[in-house]
Amino acid sequence: MGDFDWVRGFPLDFSGVDGSSKGAAPTVRRLSQMRGMYADADAEARAVADGGDPVVYEFYELGAPELPGDLAFGTSITYPGKVGSEYYMTKGHFHTILDTAEVYYTLSGEGCMLTESPEGDVVLHTLAPGKALYVPKRYAHRSVNTGGAPLVTFFVFRADAGHDYGTIETKGFRKLVLEGPDGRPRLADNPKWGGA
């Protein structure tokens, strides 16, 4: 990319309200592109039909060289909303190089990060402005917006790590993040989880 000198370095301003930066094009995920990711398929279909296919999340990534030693980074914006009682979320992914960690820093909004190892260890981490989260290697991760405003995070990981969305698309996460009767997020078993 023209303004990004991957050899000598460059400054970048992520101070915009939405976490976007000049020169970083967004990747947008609408609810219809999340088909099958939510547990309540009827609520999902109604939300697409009645809601005009809303944007669930988008992310801005600069296209770093996918070479060992380089770092990929950008921002992710997960919008507020629910499908049934399940909060809007990102698809989530493992890294293709499974032994890859990732760091998230919350710029604004509130939510959580659902993480899961291949062996089934599930952890729900709180995301809050000004706090960083270290997602360890070997853990799939998914951002979940549990608030009423956009959840904006900054992320960074090794540039050659790649993304494995396919495992999550076919198997799902073992747990869901739902709004409980008290209005607070809670974990629940995913009835659509594809097993080992």
Q: Could you tell me the CATH number of the domain that includes residue 36?
A: 2.60.120.10
Q: Return the DSSP state at 118.
A: T
Instruction: Give a yes or no: residue 79 inside a domain.
Output: yes
Instruction: Give a yes or no: residue 4 inside a domain.
Output: no
* pLDDT tens digits along 118-132: 999 999 999 999 999
pLDDT for position 51: 80
Tell me the average pLDDT across 94-115: 97
Q: Which of 8-12, 16-20, 63-67, 154-158 has the highest mean pLDDT?
A: 154-158
The domain in which residue 80 lies consists of: 26-189
Count of the separate structural domains present in the chain: 1
Q: What is the pTM of this model?
A: 0.90
pLDDT for position 9: 74
Instruction: Give a yes or no: residue 1 inside a domain.
Output: no
Q: Which residue has the higher pLDDT, 122 or 8?
A: 122
In this prediction, what percent of the chain has a pLDDT beyond 70? 89
Secondary structure of residue 20 in the 3-state scheme: coil
Q: 36-68 in b/e burial notation, b at 16+ Cβ within 10 A?
A: ebbbbeeebeebbeeeeeebbbbbbebebeeee
